Chains A and B, each alone.
Chain A
Amino acid sequence: MSATSNVLKANKSSGKGSLIGYFPAGFPTLDESVDAAIAMCKNGVDVLELGVPYSDPVMDGLVIQQATESALEHGFKLPQVFEAVKRISAAVDTPILVMTYWNPVLSYGVERFATDLKEAGGAGLITPDLIPDEAKEWLEVSDKLQLDRVFLTAPTSSKERIQNACDLSRGFVYAVSTMGITGARDSVDNLARQVVAGVRGASSEQNTAVGIGISTAEQVNDVNSYADGAIVGSAFVKAYASGGVEALTAKVIEVSAGLQK
């Protein structure tokens, strides 16, 4: 069973929404990123999305690009992501999904990466540039190790592709709210409702969380009125960059305020 799914479903059935929070491992250093992530989990984040810094983050806007670039400049090494997962999961029960572009996993070895992630206490992977069509090895390995695997659906995804993403995801399906890259936006695109409706049409069981562009309490509440969770990333990274753990904690409390914890 999926720990991520359990959390989302439990919150749903007790009338609360869920907040999924992104933070990059190693930003600005490993220790500080671990402290930041723990603070997020203790203050309102229900599922942690721990990012792996990567040299070519095509899905990311400037805020996350700058953070992950800085992590790499500070000497982030891939195995540190397992160390971060281990330390965070020792401190909190929050499910930890690692968000990673595919090449670092491929380079490390898919099975080896999955095994080390499992051992460290991670729940699974979110793979922004791995579509199910190319994921044969990951599908097998994640089944074997019972890891969550979150695929994405977009406003332009066909019915067949939405169905496929629903059938093959475990934990939740990532509903991309808008045609674009990560970064805060004034309003969450109406397309998000469409994408979520597509997932609901494909499956009555599968969870779906909306991401990209979400940065305020209002948006988090609104998204939770029709989806199973809201994903916030750039807004947290930006808060940390401007005021460290304190500002980050305040931002987490602020955007999760409406979720009646």
Chain B
Amino acid sequence: MTNLREQVGPYFGEFGGRFVPESLIAALDELDSTYQAAKLDPSFQHELAELHRTYTGRPSIITEAKRFAEHAGPVRIFLKREDLNHTGSHKINNVLGQALLAKRMDKTRIIAETGAGQHGVASATAAALFGLECVVYMGEVDTQRQALNVARMELLGATVVPVTTGSRTLKDAINEALRDWVANVDNTHYLLGTVAGPHPFPTMVRDFHSVIGTEARKQMLEEFGFLPTALAACVGGGSNAIGLFHAFLDDADVELYGFEAAGDGMDTNRHAATLNFGRMGVLHGAKSYMLQDEDGQTMESHSISAGLDYPGVGPEHAWLKDLGRAKYWGISDAEAMDALRLLSRTEGIIPAIETAHALAGALKLGKTLEPGSSILVNLSGRGDKDMETAAKYFGLLDKKS
């Protein structure tokens, strides 16, 4: 097999590229060349690493989930604790990197899209830290189901714009952000929050998140003396998953599993399982798998998790799927919510609903593995933002009122 880790875009096999209006090409070129220069610049790498050490709280720890693992067959389960990062998820890894690039490009304004609100919160945080203006586009539906994060962003000084076009979720928030960017490229950086979009975003965002897998690989070897049998991560756009996977891509013995949102179930048409049910197409600037009807119109996705409720997926995942290097399974709302409660009650860790899909996946996967196997789960975020959804789901609010 070729060296999978060396891929730097713009294409991953036949996926990726830049399917955007000509008006954005100059900005993408500028971003690409700024990023290429920063990558080779030790002072940039040092600044980012110092921010992660003194602000993000890196390295994030690994926790063995022994009581949780009792429910997953004969395997050990390890959690890479991205939930302990400042702002509560992996999203900050990418945001700090891109905010530093925005400064290098002398941009004074950043815009971002957000689904669950975690990327919006991380962007608003970086904007506050660096003194940048920040506008966050969020589907109207998501502003309702993640109201707490809207308040956080506003407290941090960002402007949250509810998007009322199309399906009023993450995909439409990205459209609106792209429209803003076309009109304001001279002073604005579009801080895209996942490994989708036109080149260089999929590669650059992956690189900023690859710290997850790089740390985890070293921690597994140093603290436990072995590499895990399998990795597990949830997949929305795919950033936390590729961040964990990347350092392990060329460890042929380590299996890679991504878990997509199956919404009401894999046998229904209400899901967000793009890699399982999608078809190759172009969405938001890249060629990849996407949920589309026979006319190429994007279909609405469905998931209890706002952060996974996206009908597209990053091009590198499409490529890894076609190569057979990674496998992608669907996890329903119900399975995810069960896993969320189980982790809370067995380990005292309340995960984000997005992350709960990876945990449910690990429970399923564990039962198929040999005794003595191990699964490293990317615990991509904490569940505080989801308390209202979870309380409603489990009927906790009813009991009290």
A residues contacting B by CB (< 8 A) are 54-59, 61, 65, 69, 72, 77-78, 102-108, 128-131, 133-134, 151-158, 161, 165, 176, 179-181
Report Cα–Cα, A54/B295, bound state, in Å: 9
Q: Which of B272-323 contact A (CB under 8 A)?
A: 279-285, 290, 292, 294-298
B172-216 interface mask toward A, CB cutoff 8 Å, 1 = contact, 0 = none? Answer: 100100110011111000000000000000000000000000000
Report the minimum CB–CB distance from A174 to chain B (whole Å): 9
Q: Which of B245-287 contact A (CB under 8 A)?
A: 279-285
Q: Taking CB as reference atom, which chain A residue is nearest B23?
A: A154
Contact indicator A152/B21 (Cβ below 8 Å)? yes
Contact indicator A129/B19 (Cβ below 8 Å)? yes
Contact indicator A55/B298 (Cβ below 8 Å)? yes
Q: CB < 8 Å: which of B17, B25, B165, B280 contacts A156?
A: B25
The total of chain B residues at the interface (CB under 8 A) is 37
Contact indicator A108/B296 (Cβ below 8 Å)? yes
Q: Taking CB as reference atom, which chain B residue is nearest A79?
A: B295
Can you add 15 more A-B contacts, CB < 8 Å, to A55-B298, A78-B295, A130-B19? A58-B182, A58-B284, A69-B166, A77-B295, A102-B19, A102-B282, A104-B295, A131-B18, A133-B18, A152-B21, A152-B22, A153-B22, A156-B27, A158-B29, A179-B182
Report Cα–Cα, A161/B26, bound state, in Å: 10
Q: CB < 8 Å: which of A55, A107, A128, A158 contacts B294?
A: A107
For A59, the chain B residues whose CB sits under 8 A away are 21, 182
Q: A55-B166, A156-B27, A179-B186 are in contact. Are A107 and B281 (CB under 8 A)?
A: yes
Report Cα–Cα, A103/B297, bound state, in Å: 8
8 A-B residue pairs with Cβ-Cβ distance under 8 Å, sorted by A, are: A103-B282, A106-B282, A107-B295, A129-B282, A133-B18, A134-B18, A152-B23, A161-B25
Report Cα–Cα, A104/B297, bound state, in Å: 7
Report Cα–Cα, A156/B178, bound state, in Å: 16
Report Cα–Cα, A103/B292, bound state, in Å: 9
B101 within 8 A of partner (CB) = no
The binding surface of chain B is classed by DSSP as mixed
For B183, the chain A residues whose CB sits under 8 A away are 179-181
For B282, the chain A residues whose CB sits under 8 A away are 102-103, 106, 129
Report the minimum CB–CB distance from A113 to chain B (whole Å): 10
B171 within 8 A of partner (CB) = yes
Contact indicator B165/A176 (Cβ below 8 Å)? no
Contact indicator B283/A56 (Cβ below 8 Å)? yes
Q: Taking CB as reference atom, which chain B residue is nearest A81?
A: B295
For A56, the chain B residues whose CB sits under 8 A away are 166, 171-172, 175, 283-284, 298
Contact indicator A176/B178 (Cβ below 8 Å)? no
For A151, the chain B residues whose CB sits under 8 A away are 22
For B179, the chain A residues whose CB sits under 8 A away are 58, 61, 181
Report the minimum CB–CB distance from B106 to chain A (whole Å): 16
Q: A56-B171, A58-B175, A180-B182 are in contact. Are A131 and B23 (CB under 8 A)?
A: no
B20 within 8 A of partner (CB) = yes
Report Cα–Cα, A78/B295, bound state, in Å: 6
Q: Taking CB as reference atom, which chain B residue is nearest A156?
A: B26
B98-126 interface mask toward A, CB cutoff 8 Å, 1 = contact, 0 = none? Answer: 00000000000000000000000000000
